[in-house]
């Protein structure tokens, strides 16, 4: 009824090629962004910001990066956690080793360092494919885990092995309260999402998709696999690296290598697959699902325990949480193997015909 495109004629190429060609979509997205920027900081309390919304924003950014590589270029990676670690530690080193380095520049340089590392560890993708590649990317994960734990230079010889960063100062704006942090991350996420959307619908994105769909055929029609694959690794690692730097600088403040362990890599891949491979919106859905689920389960289990008057130990709750998490993941994969983004687009198709489906 409201979501109809009848009568909307496009008369220029520009209007035909917009990101959101339907005005309803455009307004809806603008409204969501406006609410996120203005409404949320006014309405939401600090706990929710710190525990859910900030992790959600940062992990969405990381999932966006992983989605570029896995969803658009078809190269499965299990080393995303390592890219986050490289981003975080490189940003940290830029910040403390270069005098007067602005924090935002350090974060972006951290992303660049992660991109370089991504190119090096993505190089095997030129020879190795599929599951072999997935396992090969684990090499990066374990190597960087080891490097940040054992090579003292990276952590500035910190005796405890953990590093910490003071509050970020951005052109006189000190980012210290959860609301500030939320707005900072949201700003970065919006800019990066827009960039990602434009990348994947541009020439380079189409090359990635051609490689994903059939790399031999793509090579035959003149796409350079080396350039396409390595650029996907670089862009993806840049995104994930920036997310890692944000995770360390903004969310954690002080961190150790365990913050970017292999579980993080699995988590990011889960987000992409549950959210929807090859869909920008899928990264957000997946991140929301994976971030909210443990908190939700925790609350529900606590409630249930209270309801039946059982004394549920913390360890037991965490085991049951893991169990239910695993079961839900399998359930989601069975119900909708193409991810929540697909559910969303089916829903949208239904909405177009509503209330008179024929």
Partner 1 sequence: MSFFLETLLGGLMSGMLYSLVALGFVLIYKASGVFNFAQGAMVLFAALSMARFSEWIPLWLGMEDNLFLANLLAIAVSVVVMFAVAWLIERLVLRHLVNQEGATLLMATLGIGYFLDGIGQTVFGSDIYKIDVGMPKEPVTVLESVFEGGILINKEDFVAAFIAAMLVLALTIFFQKTATGRALRAVADDHQAAQSIGIPLGRIWVIVWCVAGITALVAGIIWGSKLGAQFSLSTVALRALPVVILGGLTSVPGAIIGGLIIGVGEKLSEVFLGPYVGGGIEIWFAYMLALVFLLFRPQGLFGEKIIDRV
Residues that bind partner 1 (CB under 8 A): 70, 76, 124, 127-132, 134-136, 138-139, 142-143, 145-146, 149-151, 214-217, 220, 262, 266, 269-270, 273-274, 277, 315-316, 319-330, 333-334, 337
Mode of pairing for the β-strands spanning 254-255 and 173-175 = unpaired
- Work out how close the CB of 164 gets to partner 1 at its nearest, in angstroms, rounded to a whole number: 23
Measured distance CA(59)–CA(293) in Å, rounded: 14
Across the chain, how many H-helices and E-strands are there?
16, 4
Residue 29, CB half-sphere, CA atoms under 13 Å: how many? 11
Residue nearer to partner 1 on the CB measure, 10 or 319:
319
With respect to partner 1, which residue has the nearer C-beta, 98 or 316? 316
Q: Which is nearer to partner 1, 127 or 358 (CB)?
A: 127
- What is the C-alpha separation between 353 and 149, in angstroms, rounded? 57
C-beta of 76 vs 109, nearer to partner 1: 76
* Shortest Cβ 337–partner 1 spacing (Å): 5
CB of 298 to partner 1, least distance (A): 13
Are 229 and 73 in contact, with CB atoms under 8 Å apart? yes
Q: Are 241 and 113 in contact (CB under 8 A)?
A: yes
Whichever of 246 and 267 has its CB closer to partner 1, that residue is 267
Least distance from C-beta 113 to partner 1, angstroms?
A: 19
Comparison of 183 and 277: residue with beta carbon closer to partner 1: 277
Minimum distance, C-beta of residue 71 to partner 1, in the bound complex (Å): 9
Q: Which is nearer to partner 1, 210 or 250 (CB)?
A: 210
Q: What is the chain's Cα-based Rg?
A: 21
Q: Which is nearer to partner 1, 28 or 322 (CB)?
A: 322
The DSSP result for 16-72, as a single string, is HT-SS-SHHHHHHHHHHHHIIIIIHHHHS-HHHIIIIIHHHHHHHHHHHHHHIIIII
Cis peptide upstream of residue 355 (ω within 30 degrees of 0): yes
Enclosing H/E stretch for 163: strand 163-164
CB of 142 to partner 1, least distance (A): 4
175 by Cβ neighbours in 10 Å (0-12 / 13-18 / 19+) ranks as: buried
Distances, alpha carbon 209 to alpha carbons 225, 235, 238, 281, 282, in Å: 11, 14, 19, 17, 16
H or E segment to which residue 28 belongs = helix 23-34
* Structure tokens that stand for 147 in this block: 């490097």
CB of 231 to partner 1, least distance (A): 21
Question: Closest approach of Cβ 36 to partner 1, in Å?
Answer: 29
CB of 94 to partner 1, least distance (A): 23
Compute CA distances 195 → 35, 61, 121, 325, whole Å.
21, 12, 24, 32
For residues 243 and 274, which CB has a smaller minimum distance to partner 1 in the complex?
274
Angle between helix axes 225-246 and 54-67 (nearest 10 degrees) is 170
């Amino acid at each position: 009824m409201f979501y109809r495109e009848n009568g909307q004629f496009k008369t220029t190429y520009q209007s035909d090629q917009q990101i959101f060609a339907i005005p309803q979509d455009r307004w809806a997205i603008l409204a969501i962004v406006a609410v996120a920027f203005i409404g949320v900081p006014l309405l939401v309390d600090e706990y929710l910001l710190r525990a859910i919304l900030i992790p959600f924003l940062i992990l969405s950014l990381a999932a966006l990066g992983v989605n570029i590589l896995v969803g658009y270029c078809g190269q499965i990676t299990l080393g995303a956690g390592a890219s986050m670690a490289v981003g975080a530690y490189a940003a940290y080193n830029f910040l403390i080793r270069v005098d007067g380095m602005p924090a935002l520049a350090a974060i972006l340089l951290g992303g660049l360092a992660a991109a370089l590392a991504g190119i090096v560890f993505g190089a095997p993708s030129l020879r190795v494919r599929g599951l072999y590649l997935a396992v090969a990317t684990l090499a990066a994960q374990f190597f960087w885990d080891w490097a940040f734990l054992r090579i003292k230079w990276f952590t500035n010889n910190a005796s405890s092995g953990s590093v910490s960063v003071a509050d970020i100062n951005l052109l006189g704006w000190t980012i210290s309260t959860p609301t500030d942090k939320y707005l900072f991350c949201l700003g970065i996420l919006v800019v990066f999402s827009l960039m990602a959307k434009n990348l994947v619908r541009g020439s380079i994105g189409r090359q990635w998709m051609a490689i994903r769909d059939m790399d031999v055929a793509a090579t035959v029609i003149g796409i350079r696999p080396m350039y396409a694959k390595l650029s996907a690794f670089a862009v993806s690692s840049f995104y994930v690296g920036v997310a890692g730097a944000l995770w360390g600088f903004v969310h954690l403040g002080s961190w150790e290598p365990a913050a970017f362990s292999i579980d993080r890599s699995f988590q990011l891949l889960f987000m992409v697959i549950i959210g929807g491979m090859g869909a920008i919106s899928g990264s957000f859905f997946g991140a929301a699902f994976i971030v909210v689920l443990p908190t939700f389960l925790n609350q529900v289990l606590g409630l249930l325990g209270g309801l039946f008057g059982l004394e549920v130990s913390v360890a037991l709750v965490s085991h049951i949480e893991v169990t239910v998490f695993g079961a839900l993941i399998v359930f989601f994969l069975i119900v909708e193997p193409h991810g929540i983004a697909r559910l969303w687009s089916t829903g949208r198709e239904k909405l177009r015909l509503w209330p008179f489906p024929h």
